[in-house]
Each structure stands twice: as structure tokens, then as C-alpha cells.
Structure 1
């Protein structure tokens, strides 16, 4: 038994699940602390601000993260340093661009009427963008090396620092501006730890090369589009609801949305471990292994994810009340709609991971663009004629089904995966699950 426990603790899947579990749990706790401490109006403003920050981070690290992990998996240390240094230079150039745009906004602010959410973003995001870099690069490097317990340590530092500030806010209320500075300070603590331990590898910057900068940008132009599209799948609802119905409705919609993201912990963890493994198999031209890994991860994720969704569906009213309070109880119907749509997530997620890992990000980009367009068009049509937030959530079911179908079709058409492998692993894991239930 002890050997099994040690084996589980040392596995990359366990480390990724622990890290994502902690991150999602702490984010949910922090989200709850904010929802209960702020008025519905101010909470809606915070949601828009944070959604915009996350969108910009997706934009930047969509360009770099997948390419970084793909091209460093299985490479010698010397070659890894060249990739790391080149990636760092691109990220720093992005920070410089953001700083110039913020400066331009400062001079044009009297001429551009902006909401409080976007004013906060333009004033404070440049500082966040620079200070978060060491933390992000440490997680990139550690993920490529499958050192998920080290990522766990950084996650603990970040999330507990932010939670401490929010607990302080419960007793001594802070302004939105002070909360933003607290948010920046929390990520700075994690970045400081990454620098101290040498995990962010800033020293690799002098090893950067023009050839690798161009290679990363070439690959990233597809993955950045993919992540922008993925972000729009979630954030488009928030922005359109805010546009049509205001911050209060945005706050109501985001309680069930955040709960649904919490339930994606197993998928995110498995996707983190799948990307470097499938990338390594692709780099070594092991075609059968790619198909087997896709089947293994998709079938396993489906079997552990579906019972989780079922339990959440039953206890939906209690869950939304626990997170947001009594004023959000009526949003449980929205949460249940998200849960139905999430049935298609495992196959959709690993189809995208596989396409990126084997060097076909342009196909994954097309998949995500189609999904984003369907989602935005559906949301816009609904909000033109209705204020019912449940109808907005219903669009998500159609969106995820289309994305899953397109991704699987492309993988089968290109003979990258074989459904026989998927059926075999589904039977294998299903049988193991059945036997474990029958074991006294």
C-alpha cells in the first residue's frame, strides 16, 4: 500500500491534479469572499476587470506557452536555454508594448469615455503584466519537465497571499483600487519565489536567438488565435451581458460560470500532463503512441468527469447558494445548463491538445474560431430579444457539441487517431472502475 501511495505522489497526473485542484479551490474561495464582500454592482465591475486581465494574459501566453512546452519537451538542456531565452524576449517586448499603450491612454483619457472596469485595467495592468512574468515562466518550464509538485508550491504562495488580502477585506473593506494592488502584490510573491529558486530561468535571456524567436512566433500565431478563441468562448458571454444588461446581471451569470470552471479541475490537470507526452511522441514520430495517448486521456477523463457532473446537477441550488449567497440562488438553472454542455468537454479538450502537440495548431485554431463565432452570434441574438440569462447559457451546449464534433472529425480524417484505441481504453477503464466498486 505504501508503495502505491508513493507511486501516486510521484506521478505527473497526481501533481497536476493537486496543483489544479488547489488553484481552482482557492480561486473559488477567493471568488466567494469577493462576491460576499462587494455589492452586486462592484462585484460586476471586478468581474469585467479580471476578465479583461485574463484575456490579455491569454493573448500573451497563447503566443508562448504551448510553443514553449512543445519545443522544449525532449530537447537537450543547451537547446532548451535558447528556446527559453527567446521566449522571454518576446514576453518582455509585449510588456513594453502594453506600457506604451497605457501611456497613450493616460493622455487620451479625457477624450475616451470608459467604464470603471476598463479604467482600472489600463491604469494597473502594465504593472501586473511585468510582475507576473517570472511566475508564468516558472510554470512553463516546470510543466515541460513534468515537475508539477514544484508548480504546486508556487500556486500555494500565490493563492494564499491573495486569500489573506481578501479575508482582511471582509473586516476592513478596501476600495476596488486597493484590491487591484493587493491582487498584483499576491502574484508578485509567487514571482519572487520563482526568481529566488531559479525556476523562471531569467539567466537564459542572453542565449536567445533570432531564428528561435521567429520559430516561436510562427507557431504561436496559431496557438494565440486558439487561446483567444477559447477565452472568447467564456468571456464573450460576460462582455455581452455587461453590454446589454449591466454589471449586476454580469455578476449573476458569473457565479454558475465560475462553479463550472471549478469542475473542470480533472480535465485541466490531465491536459497539462497530456501535452508534453503527446508532444514527445510527435517529436519522435510515434504515430500509434499519439493515438493511444489521446484515447487513454479522453476515456479516463470522461469516466471520472461524468459522475462529477451528475452530482453537481443534483445539488446545483445548494452549490450556487454556498458560493454567492442567497441573492444568487436563482442562478442554479444556469449552472445546470452549463453542466449539460460540459458532457462534451473531455473529447473537445483532448482533440485540441492533440492537434497542438502534433504541430497542427492551424486546425485547432479553425475549430476554436468556429466555436467562438457560434457562441458570440448565439449570445447576441438571444440578448437582442430577451433578458433571460438561462437562454444565453443554452447557447453553450450547441457550441461545445460543434467544437467536439469538428475536432474528432479532423483527427479521424487525417488518420491521427483510431477509434478502436478509444473503445479499448474506455472498456479497460470502465472495467477497472466496475471492479473497484465490487471490491469490499
Structure 2
């Protein structure tokens, strides 16, 4: 199947952006209700639970997803059943290990955050872990075969049903409890898994024979992506985890709205990474370093084109945004938001570089780089929280992102010849191109009306 040309990019990009947008829109919708319905300590507990358990989901993705995509993209169809079967075996192993870890993590988290309310949430997540095995496998197979429609549909169902459950409880005047929320997650994931199967069943041809060579190939490639994803998630979650441990779950509740709002502008970054990786894997297999350079520079430029207007608007009107998203009870988030929104401009540089390194067969380097920045982030966050309180988490995270941004540019310049000036030039070019398209459409409508 050809993935060349505008058709792939437009169709894949549209489905991926819709997928990420639905995740965030439904997530923000649920968030807006929960900030108004849950006590601050319970909302902080729920936020911490989500931050920790997301580690398991990104770990599964890291160990299987990129390895499966890379080997299916670079091998003949005759090998695909063996590759797919190997990824299924790895998925089962990860599920069993995660069940053990989650069980013991329940009591540990209760002690760390000084609340027993988090324990039932982890027990409920054990059911989610089992459901995530087929759900994630279906998603990986669709992406490996350059099919994004089913990923959008299953994500829409998963996030949409949870939002509907929260909204119905709010409108009906029911009490929203933490137990209700975890039950909603289980039901929505089960329905989404069932729906995802129908988009994946044509790619479920498996070689059930135990092929240890393929299992080890996927594992050795994926172990570094696994480490990278874990380090990256620790990087993005350590601020809230440290706030919960050092100050309180209520402090996490005050901090979380700024993080949620910042995530809204992260849609183009995560969408581009998902679409770019299959293309970069193909280009890397041809040893086309100039092609990788252009792919990196242009993808970062396009992301920045989308990000910058939102960043400026949110930075100038943070009170209005916080009032709309979280309500008057979260005005403590205003100053935090003005810091967190700034580092979102730096994220595309590091996120896309990791995608390129993985496609070049350098997952170990990507892992070590992300791990180093994550360690720096832990140290900076710990010191800044002790010095400045809740907003110190934002200061520490911003400093870490800036260090990662500078290091990324230096490495990418030496590795592929990437230039910051070229990225900015592409931003300007795409901006002018967009303005030209808009003006041409306006003029064409005016002409059609006169006729």
C-alpha cells in the first residue's frame, strides 16, 4: 500500500487530529464537571491516580507499538503473522506484570499521598489493565497498517461514553464518587474494545507458533522505547506527584487545571508524532538523512503554526480561561497557567526528535536522552516546590523543558543538519501560505456572489 502523497497525510492527519481532539474535548468536558462536583481533595486524588496509571498505558505502548510498526513497515507480508503474534505474546506478559505492580502500588500510593481513597481506584484499574491488552493491540495493528479511522472511532467511544456518564450524573443531580468514575472507565473501555475489533479483524492473521526470534527482536527494540515512554511520562507527571507527596492532594487540584489547559494545545504535537513515525520509519530504511531533516523541520514548523496563536491567547487571558474551564474555586491556577503554557512551545522540538531517533533505529539513545531530562526534571521540581510552593512545580518543569529544547537542537544539528532558522522560516512560509488560501477563498466567494 502506498503511503506517499497528499492523500495519506490529509486522511491520516485528519483522523489522528480528530482522535486527539475528541480525547481532549471529552476530557476537558469531564474535567469541567468534576472540578465543580468533587471536593478538592478527591479531585486531587483522581488526578494523581490518572497521572500514575497512565504510566502503565504508555509503558505498554512503548514496548510494543513502535517495534510492531517498524518491523511491519520494513518486512514482507509473509512475516507479518509472526511479527503480530510476537507482539501479542509481549502484550500478555506486560498485562500480567502490570496486575502485580498495580496491586502493590495501591497501598504504597495511599501511604505516600496520605489518603485511603486511592486504593479502590487501583483495584478497579486491574480490570482496566486486562481490557487494555486487546484494546491496545487493535490500535497498534491499525497504525502499523496505516489505518487511522478505527483508532478515532474507538477513542471517541471510550472518551465519549465516560463523558456521557459524568454528564448524566451531573444533570440528574446524582452524587459523583470516585467509585462511580472508575466504573465508568471500565464500561467505556469495554465497549470501545468491542468496536475496535471490527476495524482490526482483517489484520489479525497470526502465526501461533512460538517464534522466539521475533519476540526478542520486538523486545530489544521496544525496551528502549518503553524506557523512553516511561521517562517521558515521569517527566510530565512528576510535578503533580511531588506536589501530592510534599504538600497535599488539594495542591494537586489547584495545579491540575493549568496542566489540563496546556494539554489542549498539545493536540497538534501528539497527532503529528503518530502520523510522522510510519513515514520516518520508511525514510530511515532508505538511509535518506536529508529526507529526515526535512520531515523534522517541516513537521515542527506546522505544529508551531497551530500552537503559537493559542499560546498567545491563553497567556494574555488566563483568568478567563481558568474561569471557563475550572470555575472560580481554581483561581490559584492563573499564575501557574501563564508558566505552563509557555513551555508547550518547546514540546514539539523534543517530541518530534524522539520520533525521528526511534525511526532511525536509535531507541537506546532516545531513551537515555529522555531519562536524563526526566532526572533533571525531578531534581528541579523538588527544589522549586520547596522554594516556591505550588507554582514551583511549573518553574521546575519549564526549566527542564528549556534544557531539553537546547540539547535537542544541538544534537539534531550535528546528526541531521537541522537548523532552527529553517524551522522558523517554514513557520513563516506556512503562515503566508495559509493567509493566501484564506484570502483566495474569500475572494472566490465574493466573485460567486456578484455573479
Same fold by TM-score greater than 0.5: yes
Does the 8 A contact of 2:56 with 2:98 survive in 1?
A: no
Indicate conservation of the 8 Å contact 1:59/1:227, yes or no: yes
SS in 1 for 2:331: helix
Residues 354-403 of structure 1, C-alpha deviation per residue, up to 9 Å, x if partnerless? 1111111122222212221221111111222342x223201222211211
Query: What CA distance in whole angstroms lies between the structure 2 residues aligned with 1:105 and 1:55?
Result: 12
Shift of 1:140: 1.4
Deviation at 1:201, TM superposition (A): 5.1
1:113-124 correspondence to structure 2 within 5 Å: 115-116=115-116, 118-124=118-124
Residue 207 of structure 1, CA deviation = 5.3
Q: Which residue is 1:431 aligned to? A: 432
* Pair 434,197 (structure 1): closer, same or farther in 2 beyond 3 Å: closer
Deviates more, 1:95-104 or 1:240-249: 95-104
Asked whether the 8 Å contact 1:35–1:324 carries over to 2, the reply is yes
Deviations 1:26-55 (A, max 9, x none): 111122222222111111111111112111
Residue 144 of structure 1 is matched in structure 2 by 144
How far did 1:7 drift?
6.0
**How many residues align structurally?**
432
Give the equivalent residue in structure 1 for 2:161: 161
Distance 1:281 1:8 in 2: 15
Deviation per residue, 1:47-104 (Å, 9 max, x gap) = 1111121112122222112222222225333322222211111111122223345667
Residue 82 of structure 2: aligned partner = 82
5 Å matches for 1:385-404? 385-387=387-389, 389-404=390-405
Given that 1:367 and 1:407 are in contact with CA atoms closer than 8 Å, whether structure 2 keeps it comes out as no
1:366-405 to structure 2, matched below 5 A, reads 366-387=368-389, 389-405=390-406
Secondary structure at the aligned position of 1:414 is classed as helix
Aligned residue for 1:319?
A: 321
Cα-to-partner distance string for 1:254-286 (whole Å, 9 max, x where unaligned)? 111011011101111111111110011112222
Asked whether the equivalents of residues 48 and 117 of structure 1 are also in contact (C-alpha less than 8 Å), the reply is: no
Change (3 A) 1:201 1:32: farther
Counterpart of 1:92? 92
Contact 2:409 2:420 in 1 (8 A): no
In 2, Cα distance between equivalents of 1:430 and 1:30: 34
Q: Give yes or no for contact 1:102–1:123 (8 Å, CA) kept in 2.
A: yes
RMSD value, Cα: 2.7
**CA separation in 1, counterparts of 2:37 and 2:68?**
39
Which residue of 1 is the match for residue 356 of structure 2? Answer: 354
1:107-256 correspondence runs (5 A): 115-116=115-116, 118-170=118-170, 171-199=173-201, 204=206, 206=208, 209-256=211-258
The aligned counterpart of 1:27 is 27
3-state secondary structure, aligned to 1:146: coil
Q: CA deviation at 1:434?
A: 4.5
Indicate the residue corresponding to 1:3 in structure 2: none
In structure 2, what is the Cα distance between the partners aligned to 1:246 and 1:200?
Answer: 49
Q: Is the 8 A contact 2:16 2:274 kept in 1?
A: yes
Displacement, 1:119? 1.6
Using the TM superposition, give the Cα deviation of residue 294 of structure 1 relative to its aligned residue in structure 2, in angstroms: 1.1
The alpha carbon displacement at 1:237 in A equals: 0.6
Structure 2 vs 1, CA of residues 255 and 199 (structure 1 numbering), >3 Å: closer, same or farther? farther
User: What's the secondary structure of 2:175's corresponding residue?
Assistant: coil
CA contact (8 A) 2:37 2:176 kept: no
Could you tell me how far apart the structure 1 residues matched to 2:301 and 2:269 are? Answer: 11
Is the Cα–Cα contact under 8 Å of residues 381 and 397 in structure 2 kept in the other structure? no
Alpha-carbon distance between aligned partners in 1 of 2:103 and 2:306, rounded to the nearest angstrom: 48
Are residue 15 (structure 1) and residue 11 (structure 2) matched?
A: no
State the alpha-carbon separation in 2 of the partners of residues 394 and 320 from structure 1.
19
Pairwise mapping of residues 217-366 of structure 1 onto structure 2 (< 5 A)? 217-366=219-368
Distance 2:118 2:181 in 1: 15
Q: Unaligned regions of 5+ residues in structure 1, if any?
A: 1-5
Compare 161-170 and 200-209 and name the one that shifted more: 200-209
Q: Is the 8 A contact 2:30 2:163 kept in 1?
A: yes
Deviation at 1:287, TM superposition (A): 2.3
Q: TM-score, normalised by structure 1?
A: 0.90
Shift of 1:146: 2.7
Distance in 2 (CA, whole Å) between partners of 1:80 and 1:231 is 30
Question: Are the structure 2 counterparts of residues 124 and 88 from structure 1 closer, same or farther at C-alpha, using a change threshold of 3 Å?
Answer: same
Distance 2:228 2:308 in 1: 26
Change (3 A) 1:187 1:216: same
Deviations 1:132-170 (A, max 9, x none): 222212221222233222211112211121112112332
